Amino acid sequence: MNTSYRVTAGQLDPSAFLPLDGQGSLGASASGIAFATTTGDILEAACYGPGVFRLRGGPATRPDYGIVQGLAQPCAVVQSQPGTWTLTAGDGVFEIAPKPLSFRLLHKGVPVLQSCTDLRVDGSPRFPVLGRQRRGGQWLAALALASSEPVYGLGEQSGPLDKRGQRVRSAVAIAQDAGADRLQASTPFAWGPGARAGAKGGAWGVFVHTAGSVTHGVGNPGWSHRSYALVVDDEAVDLFFFAADAPAEILGLYAQLTGRAPIVPVWSLGLWVACERNEPVVATQVLAERLRERGVPCDVLVLDHRATAPIAAAGRGAGDRPDPRHPSGMRPGLRPGGQSGLRA
């Protein structure tokens, strides 16, 4: 049996993952509850504010990359019925049954998302709700999708905005072309508007907190058209769930958890003009002069990084070496505007 799943394999083998089921509560806190599990891992459920809940399994030895800015918040933790615990904050409720493991996310009393319910012909689960590779390093999580429910998000991706039916890989890297599965602005955050538009309920979101790559089988027929399966390349699985009235609020909760972008300088909102590729730096000065002569407003001139690389390399020394922020021959009126831009 393979010890890990790879996208190129095309098919997902759920039997390669050990199902994670609870073996008893380890106690509740003001913000959540923890369970011992059949694999020896600790399973934790916690609240991060109204409508935001965290489900985490596996060792806690990973570095903190500062992705999550939010902190655990107090919530009502009760055993609503034998074998079932609920975490309640505002209009959001996270309901978890440890054995066999299952969970539901509710908004204003209406379920908006739940763990996988897909079954095989013999009645056994198609996927474990949470499972890990026997040797560690990779996890599987599976959610249920309602019929015809669209799923959006996952950052910069090629293809339709609705990811339903697709298999998408989230892996941040410098992409050489727009069709690559390793893109510079992909993110393992997906959301759905809810299966019943106009009816009682709400929208939902899920964020995989990891610095590793994630493969999303979003109702993909090769895996399961009724499930959203996630394969996470990490030593632990760490999921955040969001529930709110509308998708805009889901995006707000996600931004609140991970931090909002800083306010950009005013000049960066103006007109940017890109120079021709492979043009020498001196050509940028000529372009700037022509723009000024013709009265064309311009805030930033974007240089070809290959043209500026030798200047940056030469500027790493001291003394007689040129300053990369003020290349030799450039008029003082051009000021640095970023890593690869000059303010005109």
DSSP string, 61-82: -S---S---------EEEEEET
Q: How many domains does the chain have?
A: 2
- Would 1 be classed as within a structural domain? no
Q: Which of 74-88, 250-264, 296-310 has the lowest mean pLDDT?
A: 296-310
pLDDT (tens digit per residue) in 168-195: 998 866 655 545 555 667 899 999 998 6
- Name the domain boundary from 218, 234, 258: 258
* Residue with token string 């001291």: 318
Let me know whether 238 and 140 are in one domain.
yes
Query: What number of CA atoms fall less than 13 Å from residue 97's CA on the CB side?
Result: 11
- DSSP line for 115-130: B---B-TTS-BSS-SE
Let me know whether 248 and 289 are in one domain.
no
- Would 2 be classed as within a structural domain? no
- Name the domain boundary from 258, 286, 302: 258
Let me know whether 87 and 192 are in one domain.
yes
Q: In this structure, is the dihedral angle defined by the CA atoms of residues 40, 44, 95 and 127, taken in order, positive or negative?
A: negative
Let me know whether 300 and 220 are in one domain.
no
Let me know whether 274 and 186 are in one domain.
no
Let me know whether 272 and 252 are in one domain.
no
Let me know whether 282 and 250 are in one domain.
no
Q: For residue 195, what pLDDT is reported?
A: 61
- Would 33 be classed as within a structural domain? yes
- Would 207 be classed as within a structural domain? yes
Question: Could you tell me which residue, 113 or 297, shows the higher pLDDT?
Answer: 113
Instruction: Kindly report the CATH number assigned to the domain that includes residue 172.
Output: 2.60.40.1760
- Would 302 be classed as within a structural domain? yes
The C-alpha atoms of residue 21 and residue 39 are separated, in whole angstroms, by: 8
- Say whether pLDDT at 141 is over 70: yes
Q: Which amino acid is at 201?
A: G
Let me know whether 13 and 148 are in one domain.
yes
| Mean per-residue pLDDT, 198-222 | 89
Let me know whether 146 and 25 are in one domain.
yes
- Say whether pLDDT at 321 is over 70: no
Let me know whether 249 and 273 are in one domain.
no
pTM for the model: 0.79
Let me know whether 15 and 95 are in one domain.
yes
Let me know whether 294 and 183 are in one domain.
no
Q: Give the domain extent around 48.
A: 7-258
| Mean per-residue pLDDT, 269-274 | 85
